Structure 1
Amino acid sequence: MTDIVLWQKETSEILPATAKTPLEISSYAAQLSNKDRKQIVSAFESNHFEMAVSYLWGKTITALKKELSTVGITLIGEMLDRPNLDEDDDVEDILTAKDAIKLAEELGIVTQTDALRLRHTHEIITHFSQLDIDESDSEEIDETEALSSLKICVKAVLGRPKVEVAKKFVEFREALEGETLTQEDQRVEMLKSSPYFFLKLTVSVLMSAAKKNVGANLEHVLANINVLLPVVWPQLRESEKWQVGHTYAETYADGKTSTVSGLKSALSKVRGFDYVPENLRSDTFVKAATSVLRAHDGMNNFYNEAAPVKELGKLGSTIPTPALPACITALLSVVLGNTYGVAWSAEPEASRILSKVTDERWSYYINNVLPSDTRILEKILLEKPRSNWIKVVDKYGIGDLTIKNKSVGLLISATQNKKDARLVSSAKKLLSEYYGKNT
């Protein structure tokens, strides 16, 4: 069976191994002007490495955001779980650098390995930009780091021609709202064999469309939910099933009778009413978790993480099940930290909240959420967060849980045995299964 083609992979070599100097590497940066290339090379030759990398990064992330904007702001909003975005929003304003890298990875614009290296470059720039005056006089980006940054920016982004990405991806999304699919439709058949990321996004698009559309478009959406949900339901993980149930509860509370009727029909087909929350209390927890991640990803995160973590801790001793994936991901992000360490002002409180998570709920997270929790899996690829992950697994007795997913079982086993290389390869395998492609 043929997979849905979400992107067109590059088949030509963008940056040959023979390009080793700043002049040679920058000559392959198709999206830079001659003036840009000369400025970068000049900064390298003058040993102004931090200036060179900062200028280079600005050009790289701007080019990446422009390429991403071709899929449409609405789709970007759905991929980021921010349905309030529309086509009038400016891609420069709505996407952080980390958002742009994550979306580029999910859409196949960059490989997982290149995405990891782009994130590392971003962390380097962020780290040095946050140093105080005394530290900045003694600490600086060295030539090796700068050259490595130049290579990855050209290889992953600047060396690529400006092309529209994910055309078939966008076409399928538009079909979900613009026409009614049938069981025999080839696209429905293709969906069955698509990577999990695409199933997850399809559910997100359908649920968002069910809440915002009216008239003929709503009829198409509800018909497609009834066709597609039974197809993908056996493959869906708990967080996506809760998303469907939450949409039903939300539209019921809003009195949207047509939408409620369509969703009720679909949930009946899959016996999915166990995933309809009794109330919408989980919204408050999800929003609090989102605030934690926003601080974690932002500037001065070591200072800014404490306040939102404390707010999350004040919401109650028991996290509602629909909010559990978002909350544990946010709290683990704080506890694992990044390449430079953890926020000491936030980590104790995050650990305190995690200590209240029962074995049953840890089992729920490990078996149903972790296989597609790209944020945590990507952290495991980094040395310091990986070391903290080993401590987390030991501290909370995660290794004693019953692991149903074979790939997750291998990851936990490698964690318990402190087999570093095997732990990294296990995390990469889970990421590959999620994205449906190799690193």
Structure 2
Amino acid sequence: MSSGELFETQAPRPLADRLRPRALDEVLGQDHLIGPDGPIGRMAAHRRVSSTILWGPPGTGKTTIARLLAEISDLAFEPLSAVFSGVADLRKVFERARERRRSGRGTLLFVDEIHRFNRAQQDGFLPYVEDGTVVLVGATTENPSFELNAALLSRCQVLVLKRLDDAALEKLLARAEAEAGRPLPLTAEARASLAALADGDGRYLLNLAEELFSLPSASDGGPVLDTAGLAEVVQRRMPLYDKSQEGHYNLISALHKSLRGSDTDAALYWFARMLAGGEDPEYIARRLLRFAVEDVGLADPQALTQAIAAWNAYERLGSPEGELALAQLVIYLGTAPKSNAAYKAYGAASRSARETGSLMPPMHILNAPTKLMKQLGYSKGYAYDHDAPEAFSGQNYFPETMERQRFYRPVERGFEREIAKRLEYWERLRRERSEGG
């Protein structure tokens, strides 16, 4: 053993590293992948690994699983971080992999944060993956559909890791206590708060636990911390939320769909989650304004007014007072009657406009500002609706060669019930005057 290796073995290792699973069945929270019927479980059973992208939140075991797969399949493990590595590092790895292949041994190339490699660098993997020089296992916290090349994705299977649930986090704490030889100095409520702070991240949980184990134990006169005491010892973790990546789109989708489903409480929860994650309230205001016209529409015409008013109130009050105006809007939209009839009507009219091209309006509704236009029949036969009975002439306003269309179909909810009655009334008059004419 060299002096460097000797000192390395004597160096202190973090608790998370000491508790790193040594076998797949020790990995927590990913039974859907590592169980006998899971894709990783099947790889382990056959001792054969295929190129894979491991997609999941931080601290869910991506690096550990990759390392264990290399051991199980007797592949040399070559780890790289896309944050700190470049083309030169990749070339060295591929050259070492070629040398091993000549001697009959394969290589598992593990690339952490693989989404941080640019498109050209990702393309550089392809020939080495295709000819078997390396088995690629990439780890990413971002949606591979958005961040990885289609060519690379087509050569890998994507496996989704779940954030650790409370049961998995509790097992992890039990392992930490067994390793430390003493319980964490926490009340039951504080223990639950500790798990909540971890937000599904096992590594972060163990780092918090290690910080608590540095305190004097209860047997040595140290305090047993309640929730308030725990908050003083560890800093509050910001919720996992990347405003420019998938977390951003997932949460706004959750807010929008909760409102559409009239689940006001769930909508308030996702609204609060976005704010806690640092989202720009004006972005949320814009999306709520869109919801007012897309999903509430004319079922409650005041929804649009309320959305604009709430946005204006936020701009005038600023944060945090203005966020209450947005919360009030979330409640208003969640409890409002819903209709996408206007949204669908506009879509149908747009499709019809594209399909019919440049059809002219009927001559009778065209203005005739010149003598020639009058001679050509412009405005001839136009009936001024205000002079007609019920202020409704019933004339045709579609192009003469186009059949009448019905784009807008109001629902039987909210104010659109009244609109539906008006449309039915005008349609009856239109039929009567058409038959009478």
Range into which the TM-score falls when normalised by the shorter chain: under 0.3
For the pair shown, the structure with the greater C-alpha radius of gyration is: 2
Scaled by the length of structure 1, the TM-score of the pair is 0.24
Higher relative contact order (CA 8 A, sep 6+): 1
Higher helix share: 1
